[in-house]
């Protein structure tokens, strides 16, 4: 049943009840007034009696006069009433009590009368009107009141129909707007409120307008935030790809350093062997002088090769340091981007909380509206569901962002450790180079001294011991370099795995932003 019909039926039933009550009350009042006026008329008739009982009948009035002598009628305008007696109550009140008496049901010859008695000398005077005449008057008055009530009822029903039509028109307009909002269409124009109206319907209309505007604003902000989040995800993805490429380059460089360190260890071992050979040559200087000269020449060549290897190691180490600086910069940018994502997530959570509060207010307003707010309640439920989905998505994004920040911080610390190890390695390479330069000077001295090997045998013995110490130091440095490169390689592999995890989390974050965009696309802006 339409709201217009319901309002009209409600008004008709209310007016009908009011009509019946008014007619009944008016009829009772009219009957009372007729009885009062009839008594007054009969009192006047008794007071105006001049001796002719038929004076009022002759004048065209329905009033009969009767004269009593004692309790017996001796003169009367009522046919057949002469000789009849008055009732006991009349006799007691009028004759014995000398009081006036009025009754609405006096029987005279079996016919009911409105009668008035007044005591007189030796008897009583009676004036009466047949009850049928009074009833006819009362009936006429009641019919007149009923006709007036019917006319008023019809007019009121017509006015109620007009009012119900206007009210239903406004309610239907609000209901249509709520249905449009329930379908997610926010593209319609928001009508201005009617400043002349201040009733509940206009309050509901204003609330729907406010809801429309607020929903449109919230969904627009969410859509913009989803676009920004999607753009940030794409930027994250590209940066992570760049970081992965840089890490691959760093891994390659570290592997080259490891190969160089191994080669250095091998060359150092070979130098040790040559020093041992040199000791044998010193012991057998007379027999192996030519072999000693060849060994010294070989050592010079090996020192030159080792010097070149050290130069290569220094370059590789510089390249590694540069790459580590790039990785550190990229990691810091990742950390900053994750902080911005965290800020955006907090904004989405605030929007979800405001949407939840708006849904609660909408539910309260729909409950107040009763049956008319049932559609409004559907909108409130959809808003609440959307708020919960947005809050859940924001919480998931926040958890992912926290994990991304933790991984990013780990990456920062790892890069710092790698950078520290690289500086240590650079210092060790510098020391190795200086040691090789010193060793080269010692070898040159040996070559110079070999010309007079017989005279400088004892001095060569001392130089042999010095060379053995340097070779042992070179072997130790080579082992440390190999261990450092292995640790660096392991750290870079860990960092690579961390970056891959961040990349996967970024893909998950992109999927979440896509889901959020799909949710906002349900609304038409």
68: confidence class by pLDDT, cuts 50, 70, 90: very high
Question: Is the Cα torsion angle 256, 258, 262, 267 positive or negative in sign?
Answer: positive
Quick count: other Cβ atoms within 10 Å of Cβ 302? 18
Give, to the nearest 10 degrees, the angle between helix 131-182 and helix 3-47: 160
40: confidence class by pLDDT, cuts 50, 70, 90: very high
137: confidence class by pLDDT, cuts 50, 70, 90: confident
Asked if pLDDT for residue 454 goes beyond 60, the answer is: no
Cα–chain center distance at 196? 33
Residues 327 and 244: beta-carbon distance below 8 Å: no
Of 60-69, 122-131, 144-153, 425-434, least confident by mean pLDDT is 425-434
Residues 332 and 413: beta-carbon distance below 8 Å: no
**How crowded is the C-beta side of 426, counted as CA atoms within 13 Å?**
14
DSSP 8-class letter at 82: T
Residues 310 and 435: beta-carbon distance below 8 Å: no
Q: How far apart are CA 261 and CA 283, in angstroms?
A: 33
More confident residue, 450 or 510: 510
pLDDT score, position 178:
75
pLDDT score, position 471:
62
Q: How far apart are CA 375 and CA 387, in angstroms?
A: 18
Residues 159 and 192: beta-carbon distance below 8 Å: no
Nearest in space to 164 (alpha carbons), one of 14, 314, 337: 14
Instruction: Kindly state the tokens that stand for 427.
Output: 């210092």
pLDDT score, position 278:
66
Which range has highest mean pLDDT (25-29, 73-77, 485-489)? 73-77
443: confidence class by pLDDT, cuts 50, 70, 90: low
Query: Torsion over CA of 213, 214, 217 and 218, rounded to 10 degrees?
Result: -150
Helix (H, G, I), strand (E, B) or coil at 70: coil
pLDDT score, position 399:
85
Which residues is 103 bridged to in the sheet?
115
More confident residue, 194 or 321: 321
DSSP 8-class letter at 21: H
Q: How far apart are CA 298 and CA 292, in angstroms?
A: 10
In the numeric block, the tokens 């994990």 are attached to 403
Q: If you average pLDDT over residues 297-322, what whole number do you get?
A: 75
Question: Is the Cα torsion angle 427, 429, 432, 438 positive or negative in sign?
Answer: negative
Asked if pLDDT for residue 74 goes beyond 90, the answer is: yes
Asked if pLDDT for residue 286 goes beyond 60, the answer is: no
- 287-292 CB contacts, 8 Å cutoff, 24+ apart: 289/450, 289/453, 292/450, 292/453
The CA-based angle 506-509-511, given to 5 degrees, is 115
In the numeric block, the tokens 């249905």 are attached to 179
Asked if pLDDT for residue 157 goes beyond 60, the answer is: yes
Q: How far apart are CA 347 and CA 477, in angstroms?
A: 55
Q: What percent of the chain has pLDDT over 90?
A: 11
Instruction: Kindly state the tokens that stand for 506.
Output: 């970024």
| Average pLDDT of the residues of the chain | 77
pLDDT digits (tens, 9 = 90+) for 197-211: 666 667 777 777 777
49: confidence class by pLDDT, cuts 50, 70, 90: confident
Of 45-54, 243-252, 447-456, 503-512, least confident by mean pLDDT is 447-456
Quick count: other Cβ atoms within 10 Å of Cβ 134? 20
pTM strictly above 0.75: no
Question: Is the Cα torsion angle 238, 242, 243, 244 positive or negative in sign?
Answer: positive
Helix (H, G, I), strand (E, B) or coil at 1: coil
pLDDT score, position 386:
79
Cα–chain center distance at 487? 51
Which range has highest mean pLDDT (273-282, 450-459, 508-517)? 508-517
Asked if pLDDT for residue 108 goes beyond 80, the answer is: yes
129: confidence class by pLDDT, cuts 50, 70, 90: very high
Q: What percent of the chain has pLDDT over 70?
A: 76
Q: If you average pLDDT over residues 67-71, what whole number do you get?
A: 92
Q: How far apart are CA 251 and CA 6, in angstroms?
A: 81
Asked if pLDDT for residue 274 goes beyond 90, the answer is: no
Residues 489 and 255: beta-carbon distance below 8 Å: yes
Q: If you average pLDDT over residues 507-511, what whole number do you get?
A: 74
**What residues contact 459, with CB distance under 8 A and at least 6 apart?**
449
């Amino acid at each position: 049943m339409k709201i217009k019909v319901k309002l009209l039926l409600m008004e008709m039933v209310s007016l009908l009840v009011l009509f019946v009550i008014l007619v009944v009350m008016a009829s009772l009042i009219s009957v009372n007034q007729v009885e009062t006026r009839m008594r007054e008329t009969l009192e006047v008739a008794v007071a105006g009696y001049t001796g002719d009982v038929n004076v009022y009948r002759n004048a065209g009035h329905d009033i009969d006069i009767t004269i009593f002598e004692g309790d017996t009628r001796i003169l009367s305008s009522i046919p057949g009433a002469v000789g009849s007696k008055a009732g006991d109550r009349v006799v007691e009140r009028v004759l014995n009590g000398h009081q006036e008496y009025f009754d609405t049901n006096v029987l005279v010859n079996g016919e009911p009368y409105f009668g008035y008695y007044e005591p007189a000398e030796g008897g009583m005077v009676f004036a009466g009107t047949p009850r049928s005449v009074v009833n006819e008057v009362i009936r006429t008055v009641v019919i007149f009141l009923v006709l007036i009530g019917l006319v008023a009822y019809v007019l009121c029903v017509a006015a109620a129909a007009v009012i119900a039509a206007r009210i239903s028109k406004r309610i239907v307009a609000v209901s249509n707007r709520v249905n449009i909002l329930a379908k997610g269409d926010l593209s319609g124009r928001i009508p201005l409120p009617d400043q002349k109206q201040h009733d509940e319907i206009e309050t509901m209309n204003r609330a729907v307008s406010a809801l429309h505007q607020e929903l449109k604003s919230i969904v627009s902000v969410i859509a913009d935030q989803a676009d920004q989040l999607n753009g940030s995800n794409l930027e994250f993805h590209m940066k992570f790809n760049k970081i992965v490429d840089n890490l691959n380059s760093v891994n390659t460089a570290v592997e080259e350093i490891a190969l160089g360190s191994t080669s250095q260890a091998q060359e150092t071992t070979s130098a040790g062997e040559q020093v041992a050979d040199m000791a044998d040559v010193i012991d057998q200087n007379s027999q192996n002088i030519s072999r000693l000269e060849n060994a010294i020449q070989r050592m010079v060549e090996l020192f030159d090769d080792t010097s070149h290897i050290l130069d290569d190691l220094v370059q590789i180490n510089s390249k590694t340091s540069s790459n580590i600086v790039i990785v550190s910069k990229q990691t810091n940018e990742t950390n900053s981007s994750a902080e911005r994502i965290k800020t955006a997530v907090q904004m989405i959570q605030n929007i979800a909380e405001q949407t939840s509060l708006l849904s609660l207010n909408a539910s309260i307003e729909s409950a107040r509206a009763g049956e008319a707010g049932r559609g409004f309640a559907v909108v409130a439920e959809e808003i609440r569901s959307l708020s919960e989905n947005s809050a859940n998505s924001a919480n998931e994004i926040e958890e992912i962002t926290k994990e991304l920040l933790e991984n990013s911080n780990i990456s920062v610390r790892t890069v710092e450790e790698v950078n520290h190890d690289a500086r240590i390695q650079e210092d060790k390479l510098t020391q190795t180079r200086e040691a090789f330069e010193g060793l080269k000077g010692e070898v040159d001295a040996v070559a110079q001294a070999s010309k007079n090997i017989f005279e400088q045998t004892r001095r060569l013995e001392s130089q042999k011991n010095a060379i053995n110490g340097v070779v042992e130091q070179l072997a130790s440095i080579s082992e440390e370099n190999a261990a450092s490169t292995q640790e660096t390689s392991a750290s870079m592999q860990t960092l690579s795995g961390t970056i891959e995890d961040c990349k996967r989390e970024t893909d998950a974050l992109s999927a979440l932003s896509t889901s959020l965009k799909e949710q906002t696309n349900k609304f038409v802006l």
